[in-house]
């Protein structure tokens, strides 16, 4: 039997086991061809203090603790590597003669197991499975997406009131405002992008200093209850603070590209076709893209999956992934130039039988 072992602290473990715990391991059998989960073996090993919670919440068929594996006995005997020896003993008891681990598996444990059993590193079988969401997952993502949109509209009102009173605000203030707003509503937002000014030509610059003529607001909260993310971006034009027509033109081109791409989305289309549509639109206005130049302009993928991670499968780029019903991903064209700054507009959507359903309902062109 070949067993796949994954460790806790990542989205695949949580998805497979329904557990959010530390220092735990999920052991399950896979078919000889790899990646497809088999039925013979499905267990979790958790610290002793997590026994009852794991038995109540885990999707695994069997829950074992460190004590059950003899870990503490080995510690008392001063064994060289109690964890590795305990897991090896478990695998042998279960009839495992080959082991597979994911790419992010702890190196020391992998090397120990490899010295005793044939071991290979392979793609986690749950990564691909997670790309297609159940309706329950979609609703969780929708909840986080709507929270992001609400926080965005809240910060817009705050900026508007500040402008009316002649008060200048900073990116730091806006980021704190958004993150505290989301936390009070049950969501965790970290490194929220509230970026303004010329340095917005760096796509992931979080933003510092005084608010200027336009604001990129990129908000990606995670529910503290169920762990699913939302993702949403709008670029806000603020003429009162000196926005240029160049930024407005860039933004309008990105909005057109986003909407054209979203209209294409349906089961069976290729990810590369969506990405190429975005590039076609932006290049038609004379802007650079990765496939044309690559130094400035549209310098990232069109989108990415959203779920228990804010970036997961599928990737909407120059790849041949087939879009399937139930996939949830972003469409986020952006343009970035050192001479004037950057813009980006982003929706999260779910693929339905007849097209895309937008999970981040909000006007595209936002001006204060």
Domain boundaries, the chain: 2-130, 135-367
Give the mean pLDDT of the chain. 95
- Phi then psi for residue 62, to 5 deg, are -140, 140
Q: 280: closest CA among 296, 256, 300, 263?
A: 256
User: pTM of this prediction?
Assistant: 0.92
pLDDT tens readout for residues 197-229: 999 999 999 999 999 999 999 999 999 999 999
* C-alpha distance from residue 83 to each of 110, 201, 244 (Å): 11, 48, 61
Domains 2-130 and 135-367 belong to one CATH topology: no
- So what's the pLDDT on residue 34? 55
Under CATH, domain 2-130 is a member of which superfamily?
Creatinase/prolidase N-terminal domain (3.40.350.10)
Q: What is the fold of 135-367? A: Creatine Amidinohydrolase (3.90.230)
pLDDT tens readout for residues 74-133: 999 999 999 999 999 999 999 999 999 999 999 999 999 999 999 999 999 898 899 999
- So what's the pLDDT on residue 36? 63
* C-alpha distance from residue 201 to each of 163, 166, 235, 341 (Å): 25, 27, 13, 4
CA distance 300 to 286: 17
Question: Any long-range contacts for 26-32 (C-beta under 8 Å, 24+ apart)?
Answer: 26/60, 27/3, 27/87, 27/90, 27/91, 27/94, 28/3, 28/4, 28/60, 29/1, 29/2, 29/3, 29/4, 29/96, 30/2, 30/3, 30/4, 30/100, 30/125, 31/2, 32/2
- So what's the pLDDT on residue 100? 95
pLDDT tens readout for residues 151-209: 999 999 999 999 999 898 999 999 999 999 999 999 999 999 999 999 999 999 999 99
- Asked if 177 contacts 189 with a C-beta cutoff of 8 angstroms, the reply is no
């Amino acid at each position: 039997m070949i067993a796949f072992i994954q460790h806790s602290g990542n989205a695949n473990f949580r998805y497979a086991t329904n557990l959010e715990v530390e220092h735990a391991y999920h052991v399950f059998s896979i078919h000889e061809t790899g990646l497809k989960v088999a039925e013979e073996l499905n267990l979790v090993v958790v610290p002793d203090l997590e026994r009852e919670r794991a038995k109540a919440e885990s999707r695994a068929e069997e829950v074992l603790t460190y004590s059950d594996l003899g870990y503490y006995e080995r510690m008392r005997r001063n064994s060289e590597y109690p964890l590795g020896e305990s897991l090896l003993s478990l695998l042998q008891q279960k009839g495992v003669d080959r082991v597979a681990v994911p790419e992010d598996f702890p190196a020391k444990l992998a090397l120990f197991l490899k010295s005793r059993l044939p071991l290979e590193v392979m793609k986690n079988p749950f990564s691909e499975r997670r790309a297609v969401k159940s309706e329950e997952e979609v609703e969780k993502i929708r909840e986080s997406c709507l929270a992001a949109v609400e926080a965005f509209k809240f910060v817009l009102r705050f900026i508007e009131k500040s402008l009316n009173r002649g008060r200048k605000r900073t990116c730091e203030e806006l980021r704190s405002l958004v993150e505290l707003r989301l936390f009070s509503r049950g969501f965790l937002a970290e490194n929220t992008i509230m970026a303004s000014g010329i340095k917005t030509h760096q796509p992931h610059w979080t933003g510092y200093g005084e608010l200027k003529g336009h604001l990129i607001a990129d908000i990606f909260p995670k529910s503290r209850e169920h762990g699913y993310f939302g993702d949403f971006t709008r670029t806000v034009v603020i003429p009162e603070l000196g926005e240029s027509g160049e930024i407005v033109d860039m933004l309008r081109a990105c909005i057109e590209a986003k909407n054209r791409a979203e209209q294409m989305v349906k089961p069976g289309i290729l990810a590369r076709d969506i990405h190429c549509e975005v590039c076609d639109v932006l290049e038609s206005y004379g802007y650079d893209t990765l496939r044309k130049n690559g130094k400035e302009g549209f310098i990232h993928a069109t989108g990415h999956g959203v779920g228990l991670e804010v970036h997961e499968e599928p990737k909407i780029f120059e790849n041949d992934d087939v879009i399937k019903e139930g996939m949830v991903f972003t469409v986020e064209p952006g343009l970035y130039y050192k001479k004037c700054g950057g813009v980006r507009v982003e929706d999260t959507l779910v693929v339905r039988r007849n097209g895309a359903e937008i999970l981040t309902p909000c006007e595209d062109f936002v001006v204060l």
